[in-house]
Amino acid sequence: MRIIAGKYRGKKLFSPQSDGVRPTADRARESVFNILNSRLELPWENYRLLDLFSGTGAFALEALSRGVSSIAMVDHNPQTIRKNAALFPNDSANIRIITADATKLPPAQEKYNLLFADAPYNRGLSAPALISAASKNWLCPDAFCIVETEKSESLPLPQGFELLDERCYGIAKFSFLIYRP
């Protein structure tokens, strides 16, 4: 695993130590960021990313490399996230690691206008995580959300979330949503 683009391009990341962690493949991550480059209306520095089920933190750290102003990575076991975040000491003030269940978030201290959620496949966790992020005030109105699921997994859209597009890469499906409370 590595950072694909931006100021940290080529930086290698620690791989997960657990079989339960399945990082988004580099190619799929690159494709998603290409879509974001074409869909996001503002420059990267205007975005704050909330990464749910962060696993290794690769997606959020890629966003940081591309210029987002800050990232928050949520996972119930952030051991690998901490190791990878330590590789970015110059940006430590822009990195927040939250040990929590992404489906039962604590009340928000900050709001985010970009969200990535990559729950374990086929466990029905994506919709509850979106509901938690919305109900606990983690999301700004019009937040752009990307949800990764297994390609045959359905994603029931919670109230306030609108589907814009879906793309499949290998076994993964990426749903692009907008949050309009």
Contact 129, 138 (CB under 8 A): no
Q: What is the spatial distance between Cα 158 and Cα 76, in angstroms, rounded to a whole number?
A: 23
**Tokens representing residue 33 in the block:** 């960021």
Q: What is the spatial distance between Cα 136 and Cα 147, in angstroms, rounded to a whole number?
A: 18
The strand pairing partners of 78, in sequence order, are none
Residue 23: its pLDDT value, please? Answer: 58
Residue ranges of domains in the chain, CATH in brackets:
26-179 (3.40.50.150)
Helical H runs in 40-177?
58-66, 79-85, 126-135
pLDDT tens digit at each of 181 positions of the chain: 889 999 999 999 998 765 555 556 667 888 899 999 999 999 999 999 999 999 999 999 999 999 999 999 999 999 999 999 999 999 999 999 999 999 999 999 999 999 999 999 999 999 999 999 999 999 999 999 999 999 999 999 999 999 999 999 989 999 999 999 9
Residue 142: its pLDDT value, please? Answer: 97
Q: Write out the H or E segment, with its range, that includes residue 87.
A: none
Residue 15: its pLDDT value, please? Answer: 84
